[in-house]
Chains A and B, each alone.
Chain A
Amino acid sequence: MALDSKTGTAPRDFKIIGTRPARPDGIDKVTGRARFGADMSAPGMLVGRVLRSPHAHARIKSIDSSAAEALSGVHAVVTRADFPTPEADVADILDNCMAGEKALYDGHAVAAVAAASAAVARQALKLIKVEYEPLPHVIDVDAAMASGAPALHEGRANETVPKGHSPNVMARHAFGHGDIDAGLAQADRVLERSYRTEATHQGYIEPHACLASMGADGQADLWCCTQGHYMVRNTCAAILGITQGQLRVTASEIGGGFGGKTTVFLEPVALMLAKKTGRPVKMVMSRAEVLRATGPTASSSVDIRLGMTSEGRITAGFAELRYQGGAYPGAPVDMGAMSAFAPYDLENVRTIGWDVVTNRPKAAAYRAPGAPMAAFAVESAIDELARDLGLDPLEVRLKNAAREGTRASYGPTYPAIGLEATLRTARDHPHWSAPLGPNQGRGVACGFWFNFGGDTCVSLNITPDGTVNLSEGNPDIGGSRASMSMMAAEELGIPYDKVRTVIADTGSLGQNEVTDGSRVTFAVGLATIEAARAAKREMCKRAAQVWGIDEEAVIWEDGAARPSGPNAGEHPPMTLAEIAAIASNTGGPIAGHHEVNAEGAGVSFATHMVDTEVDPDTGAVTILRYTVFQDAGKAVHPSYVEGQFQGGSVQGIGWALNEEYIYDDDGILQNAGFLDYRIPVASDLPMIDTVILEIPNPGHPYGVRGVGETSIVPPLAAIANAVSASIGTRMNDLPMSPPKVLAAIQAR
């Protein structure tokens, strides 16, 4: 994708891009009118509930649902036996939604019921008799890799895994270039360290919810909170054995996702219950179900070897990463291994990632999946080595920073990137030189994320009164409808409030990738701009027709068609509204659309700086000050860019300090609620300061890069570096909860 043909990404005088208008869904969301997943009802609706395994690992010997089915008010019970044998690409997804031969984790769905009320449904679940044969289980990633560990699946390892490994090892990924041993030999100091992070949950406040209906003719409708209703359609159709065209999915407003709503849990079950009962079925998870059975991220165990010269040049970087991704293959260790050293220009770099299964819920994507744990290890090691050598950790990062032309540790060569800009801005920021008090420390860390484009489809329609409706297919998870309206208005040269953007259902647009990979403002924005350009071409053609001149002699400027060139003649400009008003007489309705597999998503870098204070008596950590420096390419709506920086940072603060999945000896999750799985609250935090840098992405007409995910990558290490500086000893295991910090203080 070339630069904007007229102006490129050189500084351009935008009228709307870069301003901060009110979002189109704002009033609905502050008045309670916005309809989220659980807010929809249907006439004759039944309530669906799920029975879940109380065992971490057990063979399901039999399920007897006769007593439940006999209960008054129960309309259907569904087990795995009701589903057709799945194709391989959805087999694990179905097995995660409804267990087959084995329950693989505490909370794994084993049956579901549809009943006239929630009270009857609850009662019915108690009447379903499941005979389990409990099996040995494994929770920890290193334990799962040990020989003799209880095996979840036999013979599932792919061809990348050398013989002799535990059957829980599913895949091995390797990246890098150069010669690690030779690089380490050139170092003045070599550091070898191990790091651990615990599983954390995305923690969206809205539990999963859906409302399904399905007729005997196979036509089905589904309303649900999801990051991608096209993904829901395709996955559910495959699981139920119906065609994609028969299933229409409408995305509700979504109450947070962060990657956790990029797969299905309830939806195929609700559809099957709707099919069996002939009635609409609504299913809503409890918070405990969300924590027990939906996507946490992987926990990790990482070994680093890093060599540095006394001047601070990194001579070699090696990382071996072991991630457990729950009960099925697919831990995001490949992306951890790719991103670990991505911020640095290294001659010798190698990463190896091991994808391991354990008796935990299947990991789902979580904001830059796999990258924060890898960055935690690498950025901690760089910090420790720099401080050991008496070097400034920011200068060491600048000395090794990747820039345009650097061969990335995962393969490609970078185009224009913003890492150096974030580091220089951080170094020159007053935060870096502000004084610190006793028990206080300052940490910095860098982070990287790939960003993504993917299949995208938008339709832009000009109404007869000259306003614009934009239909796109990506659930708006943080203000993206505002950004789309802004890009359409900018391109068309009309006011922002003349454009209304809606999220279309799956029957109204072609395939759209999920709202993930920080792709929406980039890819949907790109498609929106192209759709607006198509509409402009059509409007120029209509004006040419009215003026009786060649359409090549008409240009679009400031919201109007204008004659241009020597032979165009003198004609007053025709505005969008004027052209729209006579569209019926000049050929019919006017629209623009664009369908693309968007390429050219620009990679994104950030540097985070944080000050912490540690209470030496309790080990409690306070975040005193936090500043984010990140390259946005071009900030379309700066408030929502800042919001992404702030939100990702605070999720990182939770991951670093508080959040973890805690299991007992039987593999049962001990903290399946927001009281004990404690995410940051307002009183834990200071303001999160942000500095938006704009190094244009050459792959987008306005220079936009994704901004959503990078912000969760640096905080783990930045905070660990700050806490380590505060207490004078390294913290290499997350979370840095008070007991752990206190133990570290006492052991120093």
Chain B
Amino acid sequence: MSKIHVTTTINGDPVDYLCDAGESLLDVLRDRLGMTGSKEGCGTGDCGACSVTVDGRLVCSCLMLGAEAEGREIATIEGMADGETLHPLQRKFIEHAALQCGICTPGILVAAQSLLERNPDPTEEETRYWLAGNLCRCTGYDKIIRAVLDAAKEMREAP
């Protein structure tokens, strides 16, 4: 089976790769590009652990083909921090102990960042509904929601 040549941008870097026609973007990221920050919890779009953004839109990378990334701008958890400076969401997740095992954390951070880009002042309820596609089995979500709301507050108050 011949492979497809894809040219794309990931976290601002130009990237090209060969992939099979049936290969998901998640498999490309993890197995071909060594970007294992996005996780596979289900492979069916139910858990959100593989969340990335494509041209600014939040998607489950397990539900998108690697070939569909041609010409797009992909953002993953690996691009969230600015060098050694963590994104406020990342910092607040550590500060609030919003992770226990941490497997869902990359996907939840990507999804939360996507929320705050659209809505810098979400209510608790809006935050809960936005993150309803990201499963966490450890925390009961309490500290996750608090961390997101606290990060939003800090980002709003930043000069």
Contacts and interface: CB of A to CB of B under 8 A. Distances in A.
Interface of A: 20, 22-23, 25-27, 29-36, 38-39, 41, 119, 202-207, 253-258, 284, 286-287, 477-479, 637, 639-640, 642-643, 646-647, 649-651, 673-675, 679-685, 687-688
B100 interface: yes
Nearest to B146: A687
Interface string B31-42: 000111111111
B109 A30 contact: yes
B77 A32 contact: yes
Given A29-B99, A688-B142, A683 B128 contact: yes
Given A32-B76, A643-B143, A647-B137, A207 B41 contact: yes
A206 B142 contact: no
Contact of A30 (B35, B41, B93, B125): B93
Contact of B39 (A20, A33, A206): A206
Contacts of B93: 26, 30
B77 A31 contact: yes
B94 interface: yes
Given A287-B44, A679-B137, A25 B102 contact: yes
Contact of A206 (B41, B125, B131): B41
B95 A681 contact: no
Contacts of A20: 97
A646 B41 contact: no
Given A26-B94, A682-B131, A674 B138 contact: no
B145 interface: yes
Given A479-B100, A647-B100, A673-B46, A32 B78 contact: yes
Given A26-B94, A204-B101, A646 B136 contact: no
Given A30-B105, A36-B103, A205-B47, A640 B97 contact: yes
B53 interface: no
Given A683-B129, A685-B141, A674 B135 contact: yes
A687 B142 contact: yes
B132 A256 contact: no
22 contacts: A23-B94, A23-B97, A26-B94, A30-B80, A30-B106, A31-B37, A31-B77, A38-B40, A203-B137, A255-B101, A257-B101, A287-B47, A478-B100, A639-B143, A643-B140, A674-B44, A674-B47, A682-B127, A682-B128, A683-B129, A684-B132, A687-B146
Interface string B16-41: 00001000000000100011111111
Interface in B120-155: 125, 127-129, 131-146
Interface in B33-81: 34-44, 46-47, 49, 76-78, 80-81
A388 B127 CA distance: 42
Contacts of A478: 100-101, 138
A205 B140 contact: no
A255 B94 contact: no
Contact of B138 (A31, A642, A647, A685): A647
B44 A254 contact: no
A367 to B, nearest CB: 11
Contacts of A683: 125, 128-129, 131-132
Contact of B46 (A36, A479, A640, A675): A675
Given A646-B140, A688-B142, A32 B36 contact: yes
B8 interface: no
Interface residues of B, number: 60
B131 A255 contact: no
A287 B41 contact: yes
Given A646-B139, A650-B140, A687-B142, A254 B94 contact: no
Given A30-B93, A31-B90, A674 B41 contact: yes
A204 B137 contact: yes
Contacts of B101: 204-206, 253-257, 477-478
Given A26-B94, A34-B102, A479-B100, A646 B142 contact: yes
Contact of B140 (A257, A258, A685): A685
B15 interface: no
Contacts of B139: 643, 646-647, 650
What is the interface of chain B mostly: helix, strand, loop, or mixed? Answer: loop
**Which of A30, A36, A254 is the most central at the interface, judged by chain B CB atoms within 10 Å of its CB?**
A30
B10 interface: no
A688 B140 contact: yes
A520 to B, nearest CB: 13
A640 B134 CA distance: 21
B100 A477 contact: yes
Contact of B36 (A26, A35, A646): A35
A39 B91 CA distance: 23
B87 to A, nearest CB: 8
B9 to A, nearest CB: 18
Given A32-B37, A646-B142, A684-B132, 11 more contacts: A20-B97, A25-B102, A29-B105, A30-B105, A32-B76, A34-B102, A205-B136, A255-B102, A643-B100, A651-B137, A682-B136
Contacts of B1: 119
Given A30-B105, A35-B36, A205-B135, A22 B94 contact: yes
B40 A207 contact: yes
Contacts of B141: 650, 680-682, 685
| Shortest beta-carbon contacts, A-B, top 6 | A32-B37, A255-B103, A650-B140, A29-B102, A639-B97, A674-B46
A643 B138 contact: yes
Contacts of A640: 97, 100
Contacts of A206: 39, 41, 101, 103
Contacts of B137: 202-205, 256, 258, 647, 651, 679
Nearest to B34: A41
Given A673-B44, A682-B145, A649 B140 contact: yes
B86 interface: yes
Contacts of B80: 30-31
A455 to B, nearest CB: 24
A256 B44 contact: no
A157 B14 CA distance: 64
Contact of B42 (A27, A284, A646, A674): A674
B132 A673 contact: no
Contacts of A679: 135, 137
Contacts of B97: 20, 23, 479, 637, 639-640, 642-643
**Which of A35, A255, A284 is the most central at the interface, judged by chain B CB atoms within 10 Å of its CB?**
A255
A117 to B, nearest CB: 9
**Which of B99, B104, B133 is the most central at the interface, judged by chain A CB atoms within 10 Å of its CB?**
B99
A685 B127 CA distance: 12
Nearest to B145: A682
B78 A22 contact: no
A205 B101 CA distance: 9
Contacts of A36: 36, 39, 103
A584 B103 CA distance: 42
B78 A31 contact: yes
Contacts of A643: 97, 100, 138-140, 143
Contacts of B39: 36, 38, 205-206, 255
A119 B1 CA distance: 11
B43 A286 contact: yes
B90 to A, nearest CB: 4
A286 B47 CA distance: 13
A424 to B, nearest CB: 24
A673 B140 CA distance: 20
**Which of A31, A34, A254, A284 is the most central at the interface, judged by chain B CB atoms within 10 Å of its CB?**
A31
Contacts of A32: 35-38, 76-78, 106
Nearest to B106: A32
A204 B103 CA distance: 9
A688 B95 CA distance: 18
